[in-house]
Amino acid sequence: MTELLRAVFVAPFADMAGNMPFLIEVLIGGVAAGLMYSLVALGFVLIFKASGVFNFAQGVMVLFSALTLVGLMERGVPVVAALALTALTMIALAFAIERVVLRPLVNQESIILFMATIGLNFFLEGFGEMIWGSNVKKLDVGIPDTSFMVRGVQVNRLELTAALTAAVLVAILAILFQRTKIGRALRAVADDHEAALSIGIPLKTIWVVVWSVAGLVAIAAGIMWGAKSGVQFSLSLIALKALPVLILGGFTSVPGAIVGGLIIGVGEKLAEVYWGPLVGGAIENWFAYAMALAFLLVRPQGLFGERIIERV
């Protein structure tokens, strides 16, 4: 018994203290993975914040944008032009979604909108593969997946780039939400549709804006994940990894998506490396969900989510 307690509560921490550079490497890996999750989670948060819709298709939007980018590059379009075209595609997609999916369903229950996004999910998946094919594609954006050493610690170039991209995106989004006219309108729509209409905010414009921004965030996530693990169908499943991030961070908070991503990323890396051997490894696959579940019991609204107070 004492053996077991020692193995769970003492030995891992002794290991951490024993090899500092390695611990730092693990932490950096965790932060990088976490920010990659955050990139995906951000897309969810944007749409949920502005329309109360949980967009099931966010993962497929990541896949679709990556497919479009790779497809264009394979046909000889230069990187910058391909990026611009992909961005235009995602914006066009936002217009189409507003017109075909959201507008006819305005004022419906959010569960109905949620189901509509499930339909959108399957449509986009099929549509993407129809146009660009279903082979695994390599996405090369000119950032090598290699490491360099800083004071005895390995740093991966691709992960570093992803981390910086996520940081820049978050800063831009925070400014967009807090400082601009559009940001104020977005927050207004998220709070109360009727009141927003009454002060002259056109809902459809706002929806096009948020879905466009979510599409652009999907491109960033698609590039980073695509460069890491190839552009293929399984890319859309990273949306599932964003779920625990959302539960931790709260569905309505941009900073929450970042902090939640970091906690999940670092948490699962630490668990895998230091506690994994105890149960034969592969903790990384389910640890995030276990954390989310535990978190739900204590703080269902998430770290930064709005507290739900029912007035009786």
Partner 1 sequence: MPATLAERPIQQAAPASEPRREPLLQVEAITVRFGAVQALTDVSMDIHRGEIVAIIGPNGAGKTTLINVISGFYHAQQGRILFEGKDRTALKPYDVAALGVARTFQNVALFRGMSVLDNIMTGRLLKMRGHFLLDAIYWGPARRQELEHRAAVEHVIDFLEIQAIRKTPVSRLPYGLQKRVELARALAAEPQLLLLDEPMAGMNVEEKEDMSRFILDVHDEFGTTIALIEHDMGVVMDISDRVVVLDYGRKIADAPPDAVRADRAVIDAYLGVAHD
Q: Which residue has tokens 């207004």?
A: 188
Task: Give the span between the Cα atoms of 137 and 139, in whole angstroms.
Answer: 6
Q: Which residue has tokens 């879905």?
A: 211
Please report whether residue 194 would count as binding partner 1 according to CB under 8 A.
yes
Q: Can you tell me which of 74, 140, 145, 192 binds partner 1, judged by CB under 8 A?
A: 192
Q: Which of 206, 306, 310, 287 is nearest to 34 (CA)?
A: 287
Residue 187 beta carbon to partner 1: minimum distance, rounded to whole angstroms: 6
E strand or H helix that includes residue 63: helix 58-74
Residues in binding contact with partner 1, number by CB under 8 A: 25
**CB-wise, 23 or 176, nearer to partner 1?**
176
Q: Which residue has tokens 């066009």?
A: 92
Q: Can you tell me which of 180, 286, 293, 299 binds partner 1, judged by CB under 8 A?
A: 180
Q: Which residue has tokens 């940001």?
A: 183
**CB-wise, 222 or 305, nearer to partner 1?**
305
The region of 33-41, 59-67, 176-184, 225-233 touching partner 1 under the rule CB under 8 A is: 176-184
Please report whether residue 140 would count as binding partner 1 according to CB under 8 A.
no
Residue 265 beta carbon to partner 1: minimum distance, rounded to whole angstroms: 28
Give the contact letters, 272-311, x = binds to partner 1 (CB under 8 A), - = no.
Answer: ----------------------------------x-----
Q: Can you tell me which of 83, 176, 290, 303 binds partner 1, judged by CB under 8 A?
A: 176
268: CB partners within 8 A, 6+ apart: 30, 33, 283, 284, 287, 288, 291
E strand or H helix that includes residue 10: none
- Residue 137: φ, ψ to 5°: -115, 150
Evaluate whether 24 touches 153 at the Cβ level (below 8 Å).
yes
The region of 33-41, 144-152, 153-161, 193-201 touching partner 1 under the rule CB under 8 A is: 193-201
The distance of Cα 127 from the centroid of its chain, to the nearest Å, equals 22
The region of 55-63, 197-205, 216-224, 234-242 touching partner 1 under the rule CB under 8 A is: 197-205
Residue 91 beta carbon to partner 1: minimum distance, rounded to whole angstroms: 14
Residue 170 beta carbon to partner 1: minimum distance, rounded to whole angstroms: 14
Task: Give the span between the Cα atoms of 162 and 140, in whole angstroms.
Answer: 14
The distance of Cα 76 from the centroid of its chain, to the nearest Å, equals 29
Evaluate whether 201 touches 189 at the Cβ level (below 8 Å).
yes
Please report whether residue 104 would count as binding partner 1 according to CB under 8 A.
no
With vertex at residue 122, the alpha carbon angle to CA 217 and CA 140, rounded to the nearest 5 degrees, is 45
Please report whether residue 105 would count as binding partner 1 according to CB under 8 A.
no
Q: Can you tell me which of 162, 169, 203, 213 binds partner 1, judged by CB under 8 A?
A: 203
Q: Can you tell me which of 23, 77, 95, 187 binds partner 1, judged by CB under 8 A?
A: 187
- Residue 4: φ, ψ to 5°: -65, -50
* Residues at the contact surface with partner 1, assessed by CB under 8 A: 172, 175-176, 179-182, 184-185, 187-188, 190-192, 194-203, 306
